[in-house]
Amino acid sequence: MHALIVLSHPGSTSLSHEIANRLGRGVKASDGGHTFEIADLMAEGFDPRFSAEDFAAHRHKGKPPEDVVAEQERIGRSDALVLVFPVYWWAMPGLLKGWIDRVFANGWAYDDSGEKVIKKLGHLAIHIVGIGGADMGTYERHGYLTAMKSQIDHGIFDYCGAPVVTSERLLEADGPDQAGNLEAAEAIGRRVFSTVT
């Protein structure tokens, strides 16, 4: 099986990059000869801007842009999608949100052209790994975990029918010792296909 790890961080030597690599190592180390690919949105130069062409495709009045089709095909070759991102303002970075806005398009991820929304991604297992600088007490005290799960897990992926298997925050990323976060990332990678049949 194949996992697509989508990474959104501007620094090529960031903790987010290291966590994505460790996730991939975990996928490869798990039983079954699984493979992975890392899609580094910044390095690849993905344009997150929702254009007039995207809007026309959303309204079924035009074809989706070529870069969107290429991303949809890359997801289509995958059995699991893993998102790795730093938490900015208690949400995902704009680059990753723009990727979702454009790629998880009407007609491909879901279809709302009829009376009822058709969820089209029930086959795609989702794993969400947010990396935050605050501690768990801060997240719990202000309800940030609940808010992020409502926004991302439910608001995006449930709308498309894609089951969220993992939704974790690796916290205190600004701390001196990241060994625990790196070990947690590798463990998540080893579990990516443990629930997929």
Instruction: State how far the Cα of 172 lies from the Cα of 169, in Å rounded to an integer.
Output: 10
pTM as predicted? 0.94
**What pLDDT was estimated at residue 197?**
43
Q: Which position has the token pair 């970075």?
A: 93
The pLDDT of residue 28: 95
pLDDT for the residue numbered 195: 64
| Closest to 183 (Cα-Cα) out of 35, 26, 9 | 26
End-to-end CA separation in angstroms for the chain: 10
Residue 194 burial (C-beta neighbours within 10 Å; 0-12, 13-18, 19+): exposed
pLDDT in tens, the chain (197 residues): 999 999 999 999 999 999 999 999 999 999 888 999 999 999 999 999 999 999 999 999 999 999 999 999 999 999 999 999 999 998 999 999 999 999 999 999 999 988 899 999 999 999 999 999 888 889 899 999 999 999 999 999 999 999 999 999 998 866 667 888 999 999 999 999 986 54
Tokens, residue 137: 């007490």
Q: Where are the domains of the chain?
A: 2-191
CATH number of 2-191: 3.40.50.360
Q: What is the pLDDT of residue 135?
A: 86
Cα distance between residue 98 and residue 36, in whole Å: 23
DSSP bridge partners of 84: 7, 129
Edge to edge, the sheet with strand 2-7 lists: 35-40, 2-7, 80-86, 125-131, 164-170
